[in-house]
Structure 1
Amino acid sequence: MKYYIIAGEASGDLHGSNLMKALKQKDAQAEFRFWGGDLMEKQGGVLVKHYKDLAFMGFLEVAMNLRTILNNIKFCKEDIKNNKPDYLILVDYPGFNLRIAKFAKELGIKVIYYISPQLWAWKEGRVEIIKKYVDEMLVILPFEEDFYKKHGVHSHFVGHPLLDAISELALTDKEDFKKKNGLNEKEIIALLPGSRKQEVEKMLQIMLSVRPYFEQYQFVIAGAPSLPRSFYEKYVDENVHFVSNKTYDLLRCSKAALVTSGTATLETALLDIPEVVCYRGSKISYAIAKRLVKNINYISLVNLIMDREVVKELIQDDLHTSHLVEELKKVLEGEKRNEILNDYRLLKQKLGGKGASDKAAEIILKV
């Protein structure tokens, strides 16, 4: 079978690569053409475009790069038409992927959506597009199945692929990891500032503002694979270190973490590291988002899945140094830390266990 896969960001690259691995095990004739990143490329096939050329954050940035986005959509349609895949597999990234779903369906290509867009938070009307143009909806959050059922869309809850990704990693010995990366004996506070340049610059500035209050710790920045090491050099000194493409190893060695909202909040939880979730966008983008986002009380996946506050979220004007210091102290020691770790165990149970990629591959091959 010929598979055309579109993943537009780092998390999609991870989940897309694991799905490709599962498909190869079940389909010896599998051929891949994809939009994604380095992890998907390691599984073989043709990388059409890297996600680092697709990631535009916020309403203003999207508007400023609209011509590029429209050109990418046009190119993608032409590429699909020329290569005639058996399956189009879409991984999240809804603004782009829902346009491609309609185009592919009209060509008679089977359309699979793996990892639902967050329609339960905003743009709920897009469910009608999925109903018309998607053959199979594969969801990874337990409440999403009920959401789609309410809208008359059949979906499959396959479990969360991060459980597989984390369990299958060959993680480095903690002491070896510290030694290889020039880390000292102080306990570590990990900084996960995101993956986009604009986002990282904004978040690192506020995250590092807490340093004077935690001199007994060393801070380590988790570098995004889409950004060069040179980008981070201005933040590094004798007590602020940097590692790249080793986020899971870093988290395992850490006492706590400051994490920009997104998939990283769930990754941190699954590795049992207490965290404070941070988010700050431009004032205009945030004001627009507040008007559009409905029916949710949280921004982190941890809290959304548990449907209550497990980890503290500091958003927009609440994200400043004094609040960050206060919340970080709570997760480093004491009762709050123990509560978070207990809740993480319940979180893993709700996510349905391992095997998401295998389940997804089985369903795809039955379409």
Structure 2
Amino acid sequence: MPHLYIIAGEVSGDTHGAGLIKELRALDPSLTLSGLGGPKMREAAGNGIEDWVETAGVVGLWEVLKMYGYFKQRFDATVQTIMSTQPTGVVLVDYPGFNLRVAKELRKRGYTGKILYYISPQVWAWKKGRVKVMAKVLDLMICIFPFEKEFYEKSGLPTEFSGHPMVDRVAQLKRNWERERGLIGWFPGSRLNEVKRLFPIMLQAGLAIRMALPQARFAVSAANETLAGHMRQMAEAAGMPEAKQWIETGTVYDLMQRAQVGAVASGTATLEAACFGLPYALVYQVTPLTYIAAKTVVRIKNIGIVNVLAQRDVVKELVQGGLTPDTLAAEMVDLITNDHRRAELQAELAEVVASLGAGGAYHRAAKAVLTSLA
């Protein structure tokens, strides 16, 4: 009876891992599943999955270093468990800092089962040299972006493109709504440090937009009530108490379908916005030191995944010093007043989204896993 050990270490990985597990269960009910993940994976697979994502899902080099002892202990215990139980295969879901080290250590210790990777690490953007190592220790890469298949296969790593799970999720969330003319959606991110940097710029841009378009309206979707509270404080501090009326909570996907145009913080939300057909600009700003450090390792021209997929500038990227209240206001005014440009952008977004597959991503990934184990 086949046994799979699955490792995910972040909330997004828990979601993808759970989706994969449900399809694996449907295709082969006899499958034994264990590993590390989160509440969604545990619900899908049962008690064999240990919920650790709340602790494991830390972000930032310093935060990880502070928890070195914890991660070393979990790493050693995980490798030991796999070596002692000898599962048929190991499925690593994203989380490359931990998962790639596990794969290398397992091969070093002589593990002969299949090691499969789902949700490719974005080494094509920052550490291309890692691909050679990955080709030596992995049996299969299952990727969610179409261009990744050729990239990995060039290194000799067998690769399957499963399609992007977001296509299925967006299909369930789509509403048959008309976009509200004059409504600008602000999407400043789901982390407090992002919101602190981006929302004040959006507030000031709103003032400049109103000078050019008096009838313009604004809405911002906060990821949770805590962030909404911080946004209200920022509106007060900016001398714009009326902006507190813009703030909604938990309506991000609805707002992406209601707004005529928008500005979206760099990250997963930019691809979600594309899937919903929102004409938008990407906004990104971090500390100068962080930006300099990132520029030394990132090897691609664009930071937005839509532009990376299209291999050209589809979405305007307002980054670092290029993002100011004036530049953001000018881009929003142009998008909202230029019907031809807006329609053209929506057509290009649809073309990019079409490249992500037609749905059924988790099912195809599960089939690729079971085929590899056979």
1:195 pairs with one of 165, 190, 208 = 190
Any residues of structure 2 matched to 1:293-332 within 5 Å, and which?
293-294=298-299, 296-332=300-336
2:225 maps to which residue? 229
Structure 1 unaligned segments of length 5 or more: list them.
176-184
2:277 is the alignment partner of 1:272 = yes
2:203 maps to which residue? 208
What CA distance in whole angstroms lies between the structure 2 residues aligned with 1:43 and 1:247?
26
> Taking structure 1 as reference, are residues 238 and 56 closer, same or farther at Cα in structure 2, changes over 3 Å only?
closer
Shift of 1:248: 2.1
1:218 maps to which residue? 218
- Cα deviation, 1:245-270, whole Å, max 9, x if unaligned, reads x4323322222222111221111101
2:66 maps to which residue? 67
Residue 281 of structure 2 contacts residue 331 of structure 2 at CA under 8 Å; is this kept in 1? yes
> Taking structure 1 as reference, are residues 342 and 170 closer, same or farther at Cα in structure 2, changes over 3 Å only?
closer
Residue range with higher mean Cα deviation, 314-323 or 341-350: 341-350
Shift of 1:279: 1.2
Shift of 1:291: 1.6
- Cα deviation, 1:262-288, whole Å, max 9, x if unaligned, reads 221111101111111111122112112
What CA distance in whole angstroms lies between the structure 2 residues aligned with 1:241 and 1:288?
33
Residue 190 of structure 1 contacts residue 222 of structure 1 at CA under 8 Å; is this kept in 2? no
What CA distance in whole angstroms lies between the structure 2 residues aligned with 1:26 and 1:40?
17
2:92 maps to which residue? 90
2:356 maps to which residue? 351
What CA distance in whole angstroms lies between the structure 2 residues aligned with 1:196 and 1:23?
33
What CA distance in whole angstroms lies between the structure 1 residues aligned with 2:203 and 2:351?
31
Residue 6 of structure 1 contacts residue 91 of structure 1 at CA under 8 Å; is this kept in 2? yes
Any residues of structure 2 matched to 1:1-367 within 5 Å, and which?
1-30=2-31, 32-33=33-34, 35-37=36-38, 39-45=40-46, 46-51=49-54, 53-57=56-60, 62-69=61-68, 71-79=70-78, 81-82=80-81, 84=85, 85-105=87-107, 106=109, 107-167=111-171, 169=172, 188-214=183-209, 216-223=216-223, 229-236=225-232, 238-244=244-250, 246-294=251-299, 296-334=300-338, 335-367=340-372
Amino acid in the other structure paired with 2:280: E
TM-score scaled to structure 1, two decimals?
Answer: 0.84
Q: Secondary structure at the match of 1:55?
A: coil
What CA distance in whole angstroms lies between the structure 2 residues aligned with 1:249 and 1:199?
21
> Taking structure 1 as reference, are residues 2 and 186 closer, same or farther at Cα in structure 2, changes over 3 Å only?
farther
What CA distance in whole angstroms lies between the structure 2 residues aligned with 1:341 and 1:165?
19
Q: Secondary structure at the match of 1:347?
A: helix
What CA distance in whole angstroms lies between the structure 2 residues aligned with 1:341 and 1:242?
25
What CA distance in whole angstroms lies between the structure 2 residues aligned with 1:195 and 1:94?
22
Residue range with higher mean Cα deviation, 25-34 or 349-358: 25-34
Residue 6 of structure 1 contacts residue 34 of structure 1 at CA under 8 Å; is this kept in 2? yes
Shift of 1:190: 3.0
Q: Secondary structure at the match of 2:123?
A: coil
What CA distance in whole angstroms lies between the structure 1 residues aligned with 2:182 and 2:149?
41
Q: Secondary structure at the match of 2:253?
A: helix
Residue range with higher mean Cα deviation, 87-96 or 341-350: 87-96
> Taking structure 1 as reference, are residues 302 and 162 closer, same or farther at Cα in structure 2, changes over 3 Å only?
same
Structure 2 unaligned segments of length 5 or more: list them.
211-215, 233-242
Q: Secondary structure at the match of 1:239?
A: helix
- Cα deviation, 1:121-147, whole Å, max 9, x if unaligned, reads 111111122112212101121211121
What CA distance in whole angstroms lies between the structure 1 residues aligned with 2:260 and 2:14?
28
Q: Secondary structure at the match of 1:124?
A: coil
Residue range with higher mean Cα deviation, 297-306 or 234-243: 234-243
What CA distance in whole angstroms lies between the structure 2 residues aligned with 1:284 and 1:144?
30
Residue 4 of structure 1 contacts residue 80 of structure 1 at CA under 8 Å; is this kept in 2? no
Shift of 1:188: 4.2
Q: Secondary structure at the match of 1:337?
A: helix
- Cα deviation, 1:204-250, whole Å, max 9, x if unaligned, reads 33333322234531322240xxxx52243131354221322x43233
What CA distance in whole angstroms lies between the structure 2 residues aligned with 1:212 and 1:40?
45
Residue 190 of structure 1 contacts residue 219 of structure 1 at CA under 8 Å; is this kept in 2? yes
Q: CA RMSD in A?
A: 2.7
What CA distance in whole angstroms lies between the structure 2 residues aligned with 1:111 and 1:331?
47
What CA distance in whole angstroms lies between the structure 1 residues aligned with 2:228 and 2:265?
16
> Taking structure 1 as reference, are residues 341 and 39 closer, same or farther at Cα in structure 2, changes over 3 Å only?
farther
Larger-gyration structure (1/2) = 2
Residue 186 of structure 2 contacts residue 218 of structure 2 at CA under 8 Å; is this kept in 1? no
